[in-house]
Structure 1
Amino acid sequence: MQAVDLNEKFAAFDDHWRPRVAARLNGQDLRLVKVQGVFPWHSHAQAEEMFMVWKGRFFVEFRDRIVHLDPGQFIVVPRGIEHRTGAETEAEVMIFEPSEVVNTGDAARSDFTAPQEVMI
């Protein structure tokens, strides 16, 4: 048990759309990800996701609206809701979701599909 410095964790990687697991608790992951550009449309039939912005500006797009988030803001995407995420310029985001969740959800496997077990 020790303090974790999120600035140090985010500084340890540079690639986009490749979440790193910073912590695991109660079957959930705290994943850190750097994003830029737009992620594919997808949903997660069995899991909610929480996105919290650490740095930059981030958005979650739904079929009927776009929600923009600034540092310190978060959104929970309910299970089964189709969405895509993105950022015009690089953003650092924390994702809280069940450990078994694949980042691309029900979308076909692609270059965006990230390994799940990468710890940081």
Structure 2
Amino acid sequence: MTGDVVDLAQKFGGFSDHWRPRVAAQLNGQDVRLVKMQGVFPWHSHAEAEEMFLVWKGRFRVEFRDRVETLEPGQFIVVPRGVEHRTAADEEAEVMIFEPSEVINTGDAPTSDFTAPSGQTI
């Protein structure tokens, strides 16, 4: 994966399930994960890591306990470590996530159908 050109349209076209991030690249202990989202994800936080969400296609929101941020294609947000949040998309959105490789997508939330297998690549 390192040193190879990544075609995002091709990579996103390679899967159809929601809430199951795929690792498209790794750098400096970080994953570049691709995920399709639709619906509402559980509330959670990551005590030891920030997360960056970059919208590739669709409309996506990050809900915090005190506000909601809606993102359009080409926009991103960084969720600070330890901050409770949930993500949501009324219609399918394609999003890139940048976070440490060891981060579990559901953070401190109980294991559920939303908990993705780790290290799944595309």
Q: Secondary structure at the match of 1:7?
A: helix
1:112 aligns with 2:121: no
Cα drift, residue 3 of structure 1: 1.4
Q: Secondary structure at the match of 1:8?
A: helix
1:42 is aligned to 44
Q: Secondary structure at the match of 1:15?
A: coil
Cα drift, residue 4 of structure 1: 1.0
**TM-score, normalised relative to structure 2:** 0.97
What is the aligned-residue RMSD (CA, Å)? 0.4
**How many aligned positions are there?**
120
Cα drift, residue 29 of structure 1: 0.1
Q: Percent identity?
A: 76
Distance 1:35 1:49 in 2: 16
Q: Which runs of 5+ in 1 are unaligned?
A: none
1:72-94 deviations in Å (ceiling 9; x for gaps): 00000000000000100000000
Please, which of 100, 103, 106 is the counterpart of residue 102 of structure 2? 100
Q: Which runs of 5+ in 2 are unaligned?
A: none
**TM-score, normalised relative to structure 1:** 0.99
Q: Secondary structure at the match of 2:83?
A: coil
Q: Secondary structure at the match of 2:36?
A: strand
2:17 is aligned to 15
